[in-house]
Amino acid sequence: MIDEISKQVGHEMYQFLAELYPLCRSITGQGVRETLKGIARHIPVKMHEIPSGTEVFDWTVPQEWNIQDAYIKNKKGERIVDFTQSNLHVVSYSQPIHTTMTLEELKPHLYSLPEHPDWIPYRTSYYKESWGFCLTHRQLMALKEEEYEVCIHSTLESGHLTYGEYVIKGETEEEILISCHTCHPSLCNDNLSGIAVTTFLAKTLSGRSLRYSYRFLFIPGTIGSIAWLALHENQVSTITNGMVVTGVGDPGALTYKKSRQGKAGIDRAFIHILKTSGLEHAIIDFFPYGYDERQYCSPGFNLPVGCFMRTPHGEYPEYHTSGDNLTFVQPQPLEESLICCVKAVNLLERNTTFLSQNPKCEPRLGKRGLYRAIGGESEGAKREMAMLWVLNFSDGTHSLLDIAERSGLEFEVIDKAAESLEEHGLLKKVSL
């Protein structure tokens, strides 16, 4: 699976992300629909609409928010804060307004970052009626005492919450859920990176013969996963593993946050892949804040869904600012992240329990041409050790992942050794 990934995939994801960057996404609205159309150019994602007002557990699908334009004009009529320059300038879900006011009246509606005077913060007000502008601290400091024309040309009306879904059917009904949030405007790492990696992971799996079925969700954060779970409550029992993909394009260490269960297949897969990756990484325990794993892992569902990311949210200064841009995210980290996801999926697909057909003493590998038959000396020795591990522990109670973990060898090496041994009749599959 890994071998078939294009060498250019990092650049391809980066370019895809750059195309989606200018769109003004929120938890509802046209920006989300445009984003899903962009995704649809790569995979046949299906767009779903849930009407405003739909009750979903303790929550209600909100009104749909759309925005055409917004600005603050000074007395000379110059746009000193301009939505068309950056969609971060407007607090998401701002109500429409068009009026003039003094600086004193305006100030409570302005947000800046004194510690990063050149960055625009990202703010939302989904569940409280409000409006506001975000601007750099330099812009804020430059404002004089005068009258300002304040305009937010937005609509907040009954409409829909839009999400995308793409399902790849495998041999079994058992599903692996891969979820990413689509609600943030021009922020690259959070979460165009997650959208790009999820899209290209789907692209990689598409058209293959797979053991598991895969469900990809492109949803607004929190309300999206809550709505999806509420509307598909009787369907979640088929989800045997899953991951939330977010913040996977920054240069920080690869990070896997375990599911609430903590020892699910996906947890063991990512832990093994990261530990044998040779890359800087961190494994962290589940905690009930973060991204949509909060909902998937709520106690009434307790799904085996972890979260794959690089630097965790809030732990990098660019987080939720205009500093999270096309410079902050780069092709190389995107590619590493995608490869980890593919390897984790490959591990779940390939993990099997075998039974040695020669359980009493070792079989003679030499007479079967399996003794240092392949690769150079060091590669051959590693392969041979992998075969001995697989033979010794294929007693019907150890999966290939168990053996990989115990031996410290990469799953792929163990898997290939098992494949050779099976071909020579030394192993038989016990179960998936």
Binding residues for Zn(2+): 184, 190, 320
358 binds a second copy (CB under 8 A): yes
How far is Cα 156 from Cα 44, in angstroms, rounded to an integer?
Answer: 30
Contact with a second copy (CB under 8 A) among 193, 255, 295, 352: 295
Number of residues that bind a second copy (CB under 8 A): 43
Give me the sign of the Cα torsion angle 396, 398, 400, 406: negative
428 binds a second copy (CB under 8 A): no
Residue 33 · residue 162 · CB < 8 Å: yes
Pick 79 or 123: Cβ nearer a second copy? 123
Instruction: Name the minimum Å distance from CB 361 to a second copy.
Output: 4
Before 392, cis peptide (omega within 30)?
A: no
**Pairing state between β 395-399 and 353-356:** antiparallel
| Residues forming beta bridges with residue 83, ordered by sequence position | none
Pick 105 or 395: Cβ nearer a second copy? 395
CA distances from 411 to 81, 184, 187, 263, 431 (A): 53, 36, 35, 17, 18
284 binds a second copy (CB under 8 A): no
Tokens matching residue 233 = 């409550």
Give the closest residue to 339 by CA, choosing from 5, 50, 36, 56. 5
Q: Which one of 140-148, 173-181, 336-344, 363-371 is the stretch in contact with a second copy (CB under 8 A)?
A: 363-371
How far is Cα 158 from Cα 314, in angstroms, rounded to an integer?
Answer: 33
Instruction: Name the minimum Å distance from CB 62 to a second copy.
Output: 11
Instruction: Name the minimum Å distance from CB 128 to a second copy.
Output: 8
57 binds a second copy (CB under 8 A): yes
Residue 165 · residue 217 · CB < 8 Å: yes
**Pairing state between β 59-60 and 55-56:** antiparallel
Tokens matching residue 196 = 């790009």
Pick 44 or 366: Cβ nearer a second copy? 366
Q: What is the DSSP letter of 313?
A: T
407 binds a second copy (CB under 8 A): yes
117 binds a second copy (CB under 8 A): no
Pick 167 or 385: Cβ nearer a second copy? 385
Contact with a second copy (CB under 8 A) among 3, 58, 129, 377: 58
How far is Cα 268 from Cα 400, in angstroms, rounded to an integer?
Answer: 12
For the chain, helix (H) and strand (E) counts, in that order, are: 12, 19
Instruction: Name the minimum Å distance from CB 333 to a second copy.
Output: 29
Instruction: Name the minimum Å distance from CB 288 to a second copy.
Output: 4
Instruction: Name the minimum Å distance from CB 388 to a second copy.
Output: 4
Binding mask 376-395 for a second copy (x = CB under 8 A): ---------x--xx-xxxxx
359 binds a second copy (CB under 8 A): yes
Give the closest residue to 103 by CA, choosing from 160, 159, 146. 146
Instruction: Name the minimum Å distance from CB 383 to a second copy.
Output: 13
Q: How far apart are the first and last CA of the chain?
A: 19
CA distances from 131 to 83, 107, 197, 292, 302 (A): 14, 12, 33, 26, 36
Pick 188 or 391: Cβ nearer a second copy? 391
Residue 72 · residue 148 · CB < 8 Å: yes
Quote the radius of gyration of the chain (alpha carbons, Å): 25
Binding mask 222-241 for a second copy (x = CB under 8 A): x--xx--xx--x--------
Pick 125 or 325: Cβ nearer a second copy? 125
Residue stretches of the annotated binding site: 184, 190, 320
Give the closest residue to 248 by CA, choosing from 15, 5, 14. 14
369 binds a second copy (CB under 8 A): no
Q: Which one of 66-74, 83-91, 144-152, 288-296 is the stretch in contact with a second copy (CB under 8 A)?
A: 288-296
Contact with a second copy (CB under 8 A) among 77, 114, 207, 299: 299
Contact with a second copy (CB under 8 A) among 350, 363, 418, 420: 363
Q: Which residues bind a second copy (CB under 8 A)?
A: 56-59, 127-128, 222, 225-226, 229-230, 233, 260, 287-289, 294-295, 297-302, 356, 358-364, 366-367, 385, 388-389, 391-395, 407
